Amino acid sequence: MHDLHQPRRRRLLQAMLAAPLCGGLAACADNAPTSDLVVGGLPVTCNLTLPVACVARENAARAAGKQGRVFEFSKYSGFPELKESLMAGRIQAAYMLAPLSMALADQKIPVKIVSLGHRSGAVIMVHTGSPYRTFRQLAGKTIAIPSRFAVDFLFLRKMLLREGMTQDDIRLVEMPPPDMPAALYAKAIDAYCTGEPFGAAAQMAGYARPLSMTRDEWRNYICCVLTVREDLIQSNRPLVQDLVNHVMAAGRWLDAAQANRDKAVDIAASREYFNQDPNIIRFVMQNPTDRVTYGDLRMIRAEFEELMQLSMDAGTIEHPIAYETYMDESFTRAAQPVKIAI
């Protein structure tokens, strides 16, 4: 029986590798490197530690009398382009979906996860005028997800399992996250499950409210992780360590004070980084303040194994992948405090 399922599972894995998290956010920016290290990412709040780390490191270099950037943010519209650039070596580091990084390493692509990028940040949104107050009330309703291979979908599946429900109890549609708020406004769907800022955009506009949030339901939620090519690890460990130091410090800095988050909003909203409405990013940072968190970027084996099991249950990873295949904890273990001077 196992062999009969192999072609289907292979197609599922290929689809996962090709599935974007966010369509239409921004064009891929494969710019010629002007810094020591180009790090790819999407303009989503899961990746907020990256712009903060880039600016903090640039300021530290300037204070030391050095010109130029050490880390450079390269903006992508979705994970297919980001994955292709990382695989081809056009970039050597990126914020990737954790299951995608696991799958790439399992396929002998030389990459390792070296740090988390955030905690929490996914939401299930419903119309403000809807009667739904509990997840179970979505039985028989139409729920939009970015893709069956996105981590947001694993959050939805976790909620179904908790309520003793299955996918057969709801109607699933796949939809680019930027289209979800308008679809909910038009009542073409009953709910949607996605990452920020697409929940906050509809909530700030006044026609949607969160029904479930990972901050309440799955505190150790993992989505985007810092993934680095192994050839960079082998050729320049100090540079990778410097990046991890700044990412982890950026996370602690973001969670230390609301004023820091406000500064991060201005950085991320700029054209150089996310190029988004700062009011929407600010809404994510304030409503509530732990809607997305960044201070605890520890990599815990049991959490990754839970994520893998959820991915296997969803059919997007076909077999267990050894932790050591995709993980390199040495950089977080050796991380040194650095000052975030912004």
Residues 67 and 65: their CA atoms lie apart, in Å, by 7
Q: Are residues 36 and 56 in the same domain?
A: yes
Half-sphere exposure of 255 (CA within 13 A, CB side): 18
Confidence tier at 282 by pLDDT (50, 70, 90)? very high
Encode pLDDT of 186-212 as tens digits: 999 999 999 899 999 999 999 999 999
Spatial CA neighbour of 240 closest among 70, 85, 87: 70
Q: What pLDDT, on the 0 to 100 scale, is given for residue 62? A: 92
| 341 occurs within a structural domain | no
Q: Are residues 177 and 237 in the same domain?
A: no
Report angle CA 212, 218, 219 to the nearest 5 degrees.
Answer: 115
Confidence tier at 6 by pLDDT (50, 70, 90)? very low
| Domain interval for residue 153 | 122-217
Q: What are 271's two structure tokens?
A: 């054209």
| Cβ neighbours for 29, distance < 8 A, ≥ 6 positions apart | 74, 75, 76
| 338 occurs within a structural domain | no
Q: What are 233's two structure tokens?
A: 């690890």
Q: What are 256's two structure tokens?
A: 């230390």
Q: Are residues 114 and 235 in the same domain?
A: yes
Phi, psi of 143 (to 5 degrees): -120, 130
Residues 253 and 259: their CA atoms lie apart, in Å, by 10
Confidence check: pLDDT of 21 > 70: no
Q: Average pLDDT, whole number, for the chain?
A: 89
Confidence check: pLDDT of 29 > 60: no
142-145 vs 191-195, strand pairing mode: parallel
| 184 occurs within a structural domain | yes
Residues 113 and 9: their CA atoms lie apart, in Å, by 24
More confident residue, 332 or 27: 332
Q: Which of 217, 246, 267 delimits the end of a domain? A: 217
Q: Are residues 304 and 324 in the same domain?
A: yes
Q: What pLDDT, on the 0 to 100 scale, is given for residue 75? A: 93
pTM of the model: 0.84
Q: Are residues 181 and 312 in the same domain?
A: no
Q: What are 72's two structure tokens?
A: 């450079």
Q: What is the CATH number of the domain that holds 104?
A: 3.40.190.10
Q: What pLDDT, on the 0 to 100 scale, is given for residue 176? A: 83
Q: What pLDDT, on the 0 to 100 scale, is given for residue 242? A: 97
| 48 occurs within a structural domain | yes
Least confident of 11-20, 87-96, 330-339: 11-20
User: Number of folded domains in the chain?
Assistant: 2
Residues 59 and 185: their CA atoms lie apart, in Å, by 43
Q: Are residues 146 and 261 in the same domain?
A: no
Q: Are residues 145 and 80 in the same domain?
A: no
Q: What are 45's two structure tokens?
A: 């709040």
